[in-house]
Amino acid sequence: MAPTMAVSSTDSFDITDFVINKGNGVKGLSDLGIKSLPSQYIQPQEALINIIPQQSIPVVDMSNWDNDPKVAESVCEAAEKFGFFQLVNHGVPLEVLDGVKDATHRFFGLPAEEKRKYTKELSSTNNVRFGTSFSPDAEKALEWKDYLSLFYVSEEKASALWPCACRDEVLEYMKRSQVLCTKLMTALMEKLNVKEIDKTKESLLMGSKRINLNYYPRCPNPQLTVGVGRHSDVSSLTFLLQDEIGGLYVRVNEGKGEEDGWVHVPPIEGSLVINVGDALQILSNGRYKSVEHCVIASGSKNRISIPIFVNPKPNDVIGPLPELINAGEKPKYKNILYSDYVKHFFRKAHDGKKTVAFAEISS
């Protein structure tokens, strides 16, 4: 058990050492019972968001996917207009979703010395990483989040290297979501007149996968910080499993002359939230849009979320698909090595959608 004591100030000890070096994470801070947010986590005013009530992203019911082409059309329309949508009746069993949520709580409930084995300094592999915030070395203000990031190479390597507290449930969740991923990607490609996902396309669209287990502990001053800062994902698609608490916000109407702001993505039991990432925006030559999103902190409950990032392979070159350019579209993005794009994303703090400018062709 973590120590519990009411701490009114954290000035008397080294936050970086406690949170990052000793592996306690922000969960460790929260478990101490701190009464005020350490200054390292206080975000500048511009990082906090303007929330638009009574709006949300589309919800698509997939129960009639095989018989009604309008279901696939709804997915493509949501990817073009919103970049975000929720799926219900998607075919991934509820017990699999519940299993991976339980496993996430189990991992973060481990003692700090157990989790610390998977930090950058101590992990036996780059494919398993326990950490906190997003990029502590690059951030002016830290994010109120801990995570375990697992890069999938093979079932054999995952079985050998991933933490046993969560390994089996995570693998089962990834396996059971693969059919859904292929369905969605096939529909999205057909809308772009890409008739077949051959081996090359499969690598480009979904050649590698990473899953994160995210933990957002209760926060003493949630209005002063963020769980995750505003950003778009570098994936092709992201599949997000939320718990019942909520806190994910998506930016809408950016630059459209309408009210620019942020809408909540309400948790729906058994649903998955899907969003377009930068890689798919680039591959689709801007037809499908990656969208800024963020997570607010909670003052009352511990929250978890579990995204699967479906990505190109690191050594793939991404750029507008040949089918689009051959049809006469002018390319909006240059060809770029995907690993270079990802490195550019991770070497700076979260900064909205600025990463995608790295691939834009100057007009």
Each residue's pLDDT, cut to its tens digit, for the chain (363 residues) gives 343 334 444 454 688 888 878 889 999 999 999 999 998 889 887 777 788 887 889 999 999 999 999 999 999 999 999 999 999 999 999 999 999 999 999 999 999 999 999 988 888 888 999 998 656 565 667 899 999 999 999 999 999 999 999 999 999 999 999 999 999 999 999 999 998 999 999 999 999 999 999 999 999 999 999 999 888 999 999 999 999 999 999 998 766 656 678 999 999 999 999 999 999 999 999 999 999 999 999 998 999 999 999 999 999 999 999 999 999 999 999 999 999 998 887 665 555 577 788 889 876
- Name 231's bridge partners: 293, 352
Short-list 115, 162, 108, CA closest to 20: 115
Q: Which CATH number does 20-32+51-359 carry? A: 2.60.120.330
Distance of CA 356 to the CA centre of its chain: 16
The confidence score (pLDDT) of residue 4 equals 38
The confidence score (pLDDT) of residue 123 equals 85
Do residues 283 and 323 touch, judged by C-beta distance below 8 A?
A: no
Cα 64 to Cα 76: distance, rounded to the nearest angstrom: 16
* Alpha helix stretches (DSSP H) within the chain: 15-16, 25-31, 69-81, 94-108, 112-115, 155-161, 167-191, 199-206, 278-283, 322-326, 338-346
The confidence score (pLDDT) of residue 255 equals 60
Query: Looking at beta carbons, which pairs linking 337-344 to residues 24 or more positions away fall under 8 Å?
Result: 338/279, 338/311, 338/312, 338/313, 338/314, 339/314, 339/315, 341/234, 341/278, 341/279, 342/234, 342/311, 342/314
Q: Which strand ranges, in their side-by-side order, compose the sheet holding 84-88?
A: 59-61, 84-88, 272-276, 237-242, 303-311, 208-216, 146-152, 128-132
Residue type, 48: L
Short-list 241, 238, 101, 98, CA closest to 181: 238
Provide the b/e sequence for 63-92 (b: ≥16 CB within 10 Å).
eebeeeeebbebbbebbbebbbbbbeebeb
Q: Please state the φ and ψ torsions of residue 306, each to the nearest 5 degrees.
A: -135, 95
Cα 219 to Cα 224: distance, rounded to the nearest angstrom: 10
Structure tokens at 152: 């999938």
The confidence score (pLDDT) of residue 137 equals 61
Structural domain spans, the chain: 20-32+51-359
The confidence score (pLDDT) of residue 1 equals 38
Distance of CA 314 to the CA centre of its chain: 18
Cα 55 to Cα 52: distance, rounded to the nearest angstrom: 7
Provide the b/e sequence for 174-189 (b: ≥16 CB within 10 Å).
bebbeebbebbbebbb
Rg (CA), the chain: 20
Do residues 333 and 361 touch, judged by C-beta distance below 8 A?
A: yes
H or E element in which residue 229 lies = strand 228-231
The confidence score (pLDDT) of residue 356 equals 85
